[in-house]
Structure 1
Amino acid sequence: MEVATYRLKTVDMKESRLRWYTWDCVGRRNAVRRRHIFDLVFTATDGATGKEVRDLVSSVQFLSKYGWIRPVKWEEDSDPNALPSATNNQESRDVFDGVQEETFTARKLESNSRGNVNDKSSYVMALKEFQRANGLRITGELDEATKAAMNRPRCGVPDKIAKKENLTETQQQTSYNEMPIVSNITTLNNSEAVIRKKRFWELLMPPARQKRSLIVLGEMRGMTFSKRTLKWRLIGEGYSSQLPTEEQRYIFKLAFRMWSEVIPLDFEEDVSSPEYMVDIKLGFGTGHHLGCSQKFDGDGHEFAHAWFLGDVHFNDNEHFTAPNSDNGISLLKVAVHEIGHVLGLPHIYKTGSIMQPNYIPQTSSVELDSIDRKNIQQLYGACQGTFDTVFDWVRKERNSYGEWILRFNTYFFRASWYWLYENRNNRTRYGDPISLSLGWQGIPKEHIDAFVHVWTKTKDATYFFKGTQYWRYDNDNDKAYLQDPQGDRYPKAISETFTGIPNPIDTAFYDRRDQNIYFFKNNYVYAYDINKNQRVNGYPKRINEVFPAVVPGDHPFSNLDAVYFSYSHNSIFFFKGMHFWKVVSDKDRRQNPSLPYNGLFPKRNVTEQWSDICNVHISMLRMN
């Protein structure tokens, strides 16, 4: 069983769980586990009436507005260029007059384009579905718990949006370019909207802005960016009056990095290009702001609003605070939610999701839930890439009772960066990747060929290999030895210690079963006996001779990237390119004796087993 350990020391880059970096006056990076508390008093009201959900009338308004009675044609209803219709307003009043008198079956009730209610059963069904989505007791009655759920602060986007049918891709793109996503508690009345011919950002956009891709996510059609590097900017006229400008930019960089750590998108801050070349612009404002068609209405109501593949505006009347603050509204949490909308995500009804429609006071650090990661990867795919080496780092520690226990962490090295992999959560640690030079002192700064941990009853030594040399690592002091307790100085030549082994090598691993180190070079493998300090007789051999394919022809054959024994899976894995092969284990052979010893099961994509090992833009990597 894996036991993860996290020491909250700035210098201990391998084990400390890097939640979120915060900014102080000298730009230092600190690991924090602070609570983010919304200390404002929220009043959730209906956008059309400005009243809380208290009774049957207002509950019908709520369910109709957010698509529970009938999916909302959001791209039409949300068009800021559409003037209010007197006819529709009269129809809306008729609906609620009828509901108030409880005459569902006495007359046909109609609403405007936000939905309609033909009878009481439609209302009850919608209410039950809302209760189910919110984890409430499903009664079909407007009880206190249901009213409380409806009155929570929430985003203004409907939870159920009508699919657009019979539209060309161009029409769909145009329609979604006009789709606002308003994270609010009080939605503006149509009469208060500012009517404009063009959105502020459209005025800056050339006709040939990048192509968008249309993707279906569940019941919702969404748009995705087709290019892989997106530029963002905190616009000059949109700085907040509450936080230092550098802190604002730093928090937004963290928010973009959260998404970059789970999908193959790079986010680059661009402070110099013409604004029409910036993909995502962010800014703060109050009331009528930044030339936007939506108006912010004081504080405690609307935190922010955003558009699919568009921009994000934040209400500067709100008390936004940094991630390490114990009060106010976490700007990081709001920004991550809004960027999720910009990238194409709808609302997700799951506790813990950053995309849930309600803004809920947080009792832990802001994180992407597994469902957030899964849904965004449906839109943009999973990250892929090769690795220089992969290994489990095992060490002994005493527990609180003074007993020796073994702990391990899994690491992936690529170029000059590394990731700690949380096997229990099936994801990388937040805040990774980190520079090798910061986390592993004294070893080469990039392109490590192999990691070997020799571990017997009498030996416990850790080695890194690169080129023609190798380094011994001091686990206790977390740095490479210059001279070990035996008096050996490092780095040393591979040929000086491991006679008969070629160098440089492709990769290597230590097999505890036979206490041999297996070195791989091209299409050959060399076995080295650590007890006799010599190459095993009969080696080198072809890799597919020692590790035969279970399915003929399905084998890496040569030039492996990495081989490692996983304590989490109790198996050996071969890596090459974007694929891995699992080695037949003793347990596998007990279950199926026909399997060959050390056979390789058919290849699988690395992303099927290890998720979210993503590169991030160089500007994001230099945050520590």
Structure 2
Amino acid sequence: MFGTVYELIWMTVTVSLFISTGHPSPTPMPDQYARGLDWLSRYGYLPPPDPRTSKLQTKDGVEQAIREMQRFGGLEETGRLDKDTLNLMQTPRCSLPDIVGSEDMLKRKRRRKRYALSGLRWDRTDLTWSVHSYPNPSRSTSVFRPDTVEAILTLAFKAWSDVAPLSFRQLSGSDREDMGPGGDIRVSFTRSLHDDGYPFDGRGGTLAHAFFPGRDDVAGDTHFDDDEYWSYGGDSSSTDLFTVAVHEFGHALGLSHSSSDPSIMRPYYQGAVKDISSYNLPLDDRMAIQELYGRKESKPTVHPGGSGSTPSHPRLPSPPPPRPTKHSDRSFQSRCEGGFDAVANIRGEVFFFKGPHFWRMQRTGNLVSLNPALIRNFWMGLPPETNKIDAVYERKSDGIIIFFIGAQYWVFKDNVARPGYPRPLAEWGMRTKDGEKVERVEAAFVWAHNGKTYLFSMGEFWKFDEGRKEEGRKPEGGYPKDAALWRGVPTDPDDIISWGEGDAYFFKDNLYWVMQREICHTSVIVYRGRETRHTSVIVHRERETRHTSVIVDRGRETHHTYVIVHRGRERHVTLL
């Protein structure tokens, strides 16, 4: 009867919460627009934000930046964040900017070459390289050994030395001591924050980056994201090391990103080539490297290791078999299995947390990426070893995001934790009916019906009126209450969100329940200081009508709720 959580959510969002999905609006959602500006700034199309001045971008400036990005990516120049543009922004790519320089790059109208040079080059053509770390064995096949990695990198260097007077010699352990810390180009497979100012973001997204030639300590350094599934030979379920390495070594030699198609220096991942041992650079890339170093007049000499020359074509084992559609790595948990640890509506998107990963779903029902992101790489300030989120919600009054993990909680502004956190959960003042301190929050959400915050734990719930208060969070009087008062939903939900027009979604295992937002009609009668409110609440899905009388006498309220269900008649008193 029920499908997976993702399938059900997608169906509900697209069918129930929107009148029409056949003609998407050309105007992006506010969160899409904000992410688009961040993307344009990150990759050089807009100047970086200045926290000292909070400089705002003009509409014309943003449109010009979008047009430049569309021109660079081979799209129609609309100046709008349309569907094709947003899709290209979500494509895995190199993390170096496309535009290297200042704002005048966006203003130039003269014709320029399709390939681009960084303005930097090595002052010699005999270069050395070394590998400082290799891909994690748990994320590669048995044939993807260190010697295979070195052979692939050797062939990636060969692509450049075939057309320019360059030679590349791999340093052995003894050579490194004589040639300094690893030679000219130092290769490593790393993840997340790795002390160069350009953190990786987990699987998908940015794949690698390299630094241009120069006299800095990092000049020529080439880093690959070790959270990727690296392979070679056309496995579409993983990332091809050879094509990414050729691209990054182009940066290490002085080339910027190219807008040419085809070009290995395009910033977006282009997939595997057929035969890496006979690969030839596209024309634009040959012209670019030859403008820096000249033409190749003789046969290339490649030195995969030690002194002396070795054959130009390193021996490679047969390509590994393609990975199954469902990754065998247990840490890669399928979004379709349900059983999420926490679900939250943040900035208009739904975040699904499971283990150390999370997925993001837009209002359209589309996932930002089919692959999950690592919690530790996005939410800066949570413990690096975080493997489970108990509950999380966004406070609507000021956009603060609050995470609960065990007996602690964190307060976030955007995706960065505020100083002084974590703090003990005891600050929230929650005690069970038996008087015990609450040690864990199981679910949290802001109910659109009244704007109040609700926390659930062990079959009980508490209500908070946070407003803008940062300190001294205390539940309202009369709590906790039995979670069974939320009729027809689990008393121990994994999490709850308000979504769409204010409906409340309760998640448990791989199922969810919807409590639709109520339509209320209230009449007030005041007689000699006594006020009586008669409220009719109609819930369409459950076909339930509630008639509520609220009597206010000298500041004290008494709530009497009569519930009439079409399949029978029921009367009870409730306070939510």
Does TM, normalized by the shorter one, top 0.5? no
Larger RCO (CA within 8 A; separation ≥ 6): 1
Normalised by the length of structure 1, the TM-score is 0.37
